[in-house]
Amino acid sequence: MAREFEAVGVVGLGTMGAGIAEVFARNGLRVVGVEQDAAGVARGRGHLEHSTARATARGKLSEDDARALHDRVTMTTDLADLADVDLVIEAVPERLDLKADILAAVDKIVRPDVILASNTSSLSITELSVRTGRPGRVVGMHFFNPAPVLKLVELVRTVVTEQDVVDDMAAFARKMGKVPVVIGDRAGFIANALLFGYLNHAARMFEEHYATREDIDAAMRFGCGYPMGPLALLDLIGLDTAYEILMTMYNQSRNLMHAPTPVFKQMITAGLLGRKSGRGFYTYDSADSPKVVDDADTPGPLDAADGTARPVRTVGVVGTGTMATGIVEVLAKSGLDVVLRGRSDSKNEASLGALKRSLDKAVVRGRLSEEDREAAFGRVRATTNLEDMAECDLVIEAVAEELDVKRAVFETLDEVCKPGAVLATTTSSLPVIECAAATSRPGDVIGLHFFNPAPVMKLVEVVSTIATSPDTVATARSLCGELGKHAVFCGDRAGFIVNALLFPYLNDAVKMLEAHYASSDDIDAAMKTGCALPMGPFELLDVVGLDVSLAIERTLYQEFRMAGYAPAPLLEHLVTAGRLGRKTGQGFRDYAASR
């Protein structure tokens, strides 16, 4: 029979601790909150009052329930007031000695049967547990911020944690309306181990001036559907907190993906901690404010500021696949004349048929009038001859992701296209400079990486090579604006922004599964529930295709030569076995069996 918890102690009443106290009090429990001094108690009470006031204003909590909630919470500066509670969870800053000292002190105060929990996001629960006289009744209970809203709780067991303690805490978490995931004791657990490598890589991109902070964040929001960009998320977490988490993980694993990039230390030393200090990667109108104010940003790659956009009225698209057809639709709906070039009449017919069906669906859904549909379809002319691109102002290559094929296309386009025409490739990972080098006009060559499905996805990565001219960049910027797309600008290196940040994270998830640390379902649940991502890593891998993912990861590894980028052997084995994801019915999950 699961033990009952009637009173809970929370040590540390910062944003996270106060949120945890609110979770317990909302569920009818008596809560004793402890801070080190009266000022800390006042701040904790302020956090709780602010959170419940917002919930009341939004109709999620009645005023009577809010008053009752506050009545159930007692705040104090004396650990001795925890003597009668049934569970204690510490939520003090992420320092091992501080947490260990608190748990050791609480251990001497509470009853022998009381469970002690740590809300640490990265420190060793084993090291904390052995500082007490009850290591079998010590667990990690990692809530996610904001605790009253996010459902995930990572329950961390050590090699000596008693099974009934794990079972009781999982049942308790579910009773609190949370989704518990039980895992072993290793730095970062699931969510942070996957999240912070990605955040660290984004900070490194910014530090290297590879792209601006706005473009890095926009790329992940528009390209992956993430609720926040990585740099804005680091500001929310706090750069000092992020640094401590990364250092803890790096010290345990020696994985360079978790070695904090130097910009963290520099910003922390300068007092730029993120929202809590009023300035981090962004500047805020005051400390703890979410409102960003305009300020100067560090430069990114070649910008369009000094270039003059060339007029674009007719655009050629080389290719008839899904991406090519989607780009044609976007161009035609924006009022541009389009020349579609396929390798055969049958491929052109198939592409035009797909275009017509997509336009018809837009009419049915009320997104396009019948008149606009006919006008858009009428702007598209199909051909099998690249020479018909001669008068195009811009030509977009969207053929197979094979370098030799792309180079051959650009060689021909260089010969047939008029002077000043911009030549663009939609590659997602191959070097744009290789396409440019196949021409006599490298200044006119640029990458325009659309995202699939092109008519829906708002993002375009505009990729400049070392030879791309400012006028070409300006033309790309102008075109994206005309198409209603959000352009982000970066240099010409593998993965650009999105894939370079996304696929190492996916690869880390595969390595975590490969190590039997957690199941694919639990890892997906942790990232969706704990980090509010639209899809878990294994769901996404199966959608993208394991073969496509492996090819991108190999490209990244060949470019950067970092061990952390080396594709996980499990991914290579699945691809070799023909388990490629949803398109084959089997990937990390068996889709054929579920139908």
| Domains, in order of start, for the chain | 7-183 (3.40.50.720), 191-293 (1.10.1040.10), 314-491 (3.40.50.720), 498-594 (1.10.1040.10)
DSSP structure class, residue 450: E
Q: What DSSP element (H or E) covers 415?
A: helix 403-416
Give the whole-angstrom CA distance, residue 145 versus residue 17.
10
* 194 contact partners, CB below 8 Å, separation of at least 6: 188, 505, 508, 509, 512, 523, 526, 527, 537
Give the whole-angstrom CA distance, residue 369 versus residue 3.
63
Cα-to-chain-centroid distance, residue 135: 35
Give the whole-angstrom CA distance, residue 204 versus residue 209.
9
Catalytic option among 22, 154, 461, 553: 154
- With CA atoms as reference, report the closest residue to 583 among 593, 572, 573, 592: 592
Cβ neighbours of 452 (radius 10 Å): 15
CB 371 within 8 A of CB 359: no
Give the whole-angstrom CA distance, residue 311 versus residue 270.
46
Give the whole-angstrom CA distance, residue 531 versus residue 237.
12
Catalytic residue flag (residue 370): no
> Maximum Cα–Cα distance for the chain, whole Å?
85
Question: Which residue has 């490209």 as its token pair?
Answer: 555
Q: What is the DSSP string of 184-195?
A: ---TTTTHHHHH
Q: Helix, strand, or coil here: 394?
A: strand
The model scores a pTM over 0.75? yes
* 204 contact partners, CB below 8 Å, separation of at least 6: 261, 263
Catalytic residue flag (residue 142): yes
Catalytic option among 142, 201, 258, 449: 142
* 364 contact partners, CB below 8 Å, separation of at least 6: none
- With CA atoms as reference, report the closest residue to 105 among 113, 121, 93, 116: 116
Q: Taking the CA atoms of 464, 465, 466 and 472 in sequence, report the sign of the dihedral they define.
A: negative
Cis peptide before 453 (omega within 30 of 0): yes
**pLDDT averaged per 10 residues, the chain (length 595):** 88 93 95 95 93 91 92 95 96 92 97 96 92 96 90 94 96 94 90 94 95 96 95 94 91 87 95 93 90 72 74 96 96 97 96 96 93 95 95 96 94 96 94 96 97 94 95 96 96 95 96 93 92 94 95 93 91 96 93 63
Catalytic residue flag (residue 50): no
Token pair, residue 149, equals: 């809203």
Report the relative pairing of strands 30-34 and 73-76 from DSSP bridges.
parallel
Cβ neighbours of 29 (radius 10 Å): 21
* 448 contact partners, CB below 8 Å, separation of at least 6: 396, 424, 425, 426, 460, 461, 462, 463, 476, 479, 480
Catalytic option among 121, 122, 124, 478: 121
pLDDT value, residue 215 = 96
